[in-house]
Structure 1
Amino acid sequence: MIEIAEMTRALRRALSRGELAAWFQPQIDLRTNRLVAAEALCRWHHPTWGTVGPNEFIPVAEEDGTIHDIGRYMTTQAMGAMTEWGIDLSVNVSPAQLEGAGFTTWMERMIHRIRRPARHLTLEITEGRRIGDAPALVARLDRLRGLGIGIAIDDFGAGQASLTQAKRLHATELKIDRALIIDDSPEASEVVSDAVTRAHEAGIRVVAEGVETAEQLAKVTRLGCDRAQGYLLSRPIRRTEMARLVASA
């Protein structure tokens, strides 16, 4: 197990050493079965430790502040891919990145530089860190929404993610957590169905995460989800592989 202090030191050098990379997991439209989007996911390959999982290093990055550099790197990668491929791109954003106005101001500058409309970009608010000053956070998200950027609430059905939170943050997308997708009980299906109905009433798109079997794909389609991603469709893949997949779609 890697000690936190050692990981903190390594993280501060990871970007400059080219150890971090954006991988992409495709999303399909469940009505057309077409590739319409992808989620950009941060991957860290350390020369000694090998692959370090995001569940290990993201909490450390949030605590020591390197999440700000990592977040800007990942968002830049997502916007570049969005411009190149012409599909929707989503990227994770930690509440830590939104605690001040810096990220929002930087995003405004970046959006004005790209050719692709901002409506093709979605920021996924993760739950690794508790959301702090809600009114200030909502104001910053509203500034981004004003540019056309979508806001997604990740991990619905796990942790604190809820439709109430989605509405409070003026979200445009709700992502159903894998735990509800793999649960084949009638109760889980009822939760998803109710969430889809209420989300659609609020004009919120619903994405099913962690779809791993044909049965799960049929389930989320039947329950009215708009999009799906998961290992059944594709594992996260390198940028070059994703580019080939988009070209052949």
Structure 2
Amino acid sequence: MRSLESALRGAVDRDEIFAVFQPQVDLATGRVVGAEALCRWKHPEWGLIPPDEFIPVAEDTGLIDEIGRYMAEQCCRALAEWSTPEDPIDLSVNVSPVQLETREFTEWLVQCLRRYTRQGGVLTLEITESRAVTDIAPVLRRLGPLRAIGVGIAVDDLGTGHASITQLRRLHGTEVKLDRTLVGDDSPEALKTMSRAVDVAHRSGIRVVAEGIETEEQLERVRRLGCDRGQGWLLGRPMSGEGMHRLVRSRP
């Protein structure tokens, strides 16, 4: 871990950290309506290092703030460049609960969004569940100014443990994402869990995004369940910012 921590320090400044974007599709129309920004780290000697290896290290060492700000700023810039009031594109980015433990990050993000004039589209913060959000009051205070300027709040990875519709309600969230392990599971128990989640979410006015869609069968299943948006290799693989911009511009 120490060698990984040492290598991770300064990775943003050395341009080793970068963002790729995976399209999100409206399941009713098949149209690309958004994308999730995914963090990647390419070490000059070790090559690509999986996020599930370096993100926990970043959280434990405080480096997550630098990485999180970099990723959020990439989304703010992209919203300004890609989206228009007539043809909006939504973007989402993962935010660790560690970043929400102090008010500096949310204050910085408000200023970042103001610096890059948005021409439409919504920035959604996906609160990752590597840690559960237990102390809800300060988190709500910090998310309040962001919600006031139209930022969406999503709970990521429903079905993996911490994530729940209850937590989303407490956060006054706008979106929940069904984890790929649920989407890929056609067992009666998994279908029941997803159906219940979609029903509760929709009754609360919350959008449901199914992630990890890799087959036509999975796509048809989440459509039948009533999911609003889909994400996965079948619908679009992660791509560079330039590639995502071209895709957005080519939409009918």
Normalising to structure 2: TM-score of the pair?
0.95
Shift of 1:114: 2.2
- Hey, what does 2:131 align to over in structure 1? 129
Offset at residue 239 of structure 1 (A): 1.3
Greater shift in the superposed pair: 213-222 or 124-133: 124-133
Other-structure match for 2:7: 10
Give the drift of 1:119. Answer: 5.8
Identity %: 57
1:81-139 Cα distance to aligned partner (Å, 9 max, x none): 12211110000000000001001111111122222168610000001233242111112
User: Separation in 2 of the partners of 1:130 and 1:180?
Assistant: 19
Output the CA distance in 2 between the equivalents of 1:24 and 1:125: 17
Unaligned runs of 5+ in 2: 84-88
Equivalent residue number for residue 143 of structure 2: 141
- Are 1:67 and 1:97, in contact at CA under 8 Å, matched by a contact in 2? yes
Give runs of aligned pairs for residues 217-228 of structure 1, distance below 5 A.
217-228=219-230
Per-residue CA distance 1:200-244 (angstroms, 9 max, x = gap): 111100000000000100010110000000011112111122122
CA contact (8 A) 2:91 2:121 kept: no
- 1:208 maps to what in 2? 210
How many pairs does the alignment contain?
246
Further displaced range: 126-135 or 17-26: 126-135
Kept in 2: contact 1:20–1:42 (CA 8 A): yes
Is the 8 Å Cα contact of residues 150 and 171 (structure 1) preserved in structure 2?
A: yes
In structure 2, C-alpha distance between the alignment counterparts of 1:124 and 1:233, rounded to whole Å: 20
Equivalent positions of 1:88-237 (< 5 A) are 88-116=90-118, 120-237=122-239
Q: Any idea what SS the aligned residue of 2:125 has?
A: strand
Distance in 1 (CA, whole Å) between partners of 2:191 and 2:129 is 23
1:45 match: 42
1:118/1:149 contact within 8 Å kept: no
Cα root mean square deviation, aligned: 1.2
Asked if 1 retains the 8 angstrom alpha-carbon contact of 2:22 and 2:37, the reply is yes
1:160 CA displacement: 1.0
1:111–1:118 contact (8 Å) kept in structure 2: no
1:56 is matched with 53
Give the conservation status (yes or no) of the 8 Å contact 1:30–1:221.
yes
Aligned counterpart, 1:68: 65
The answer to whether the aligner puts 1:30 opposite 2:32 as a matched pair is no
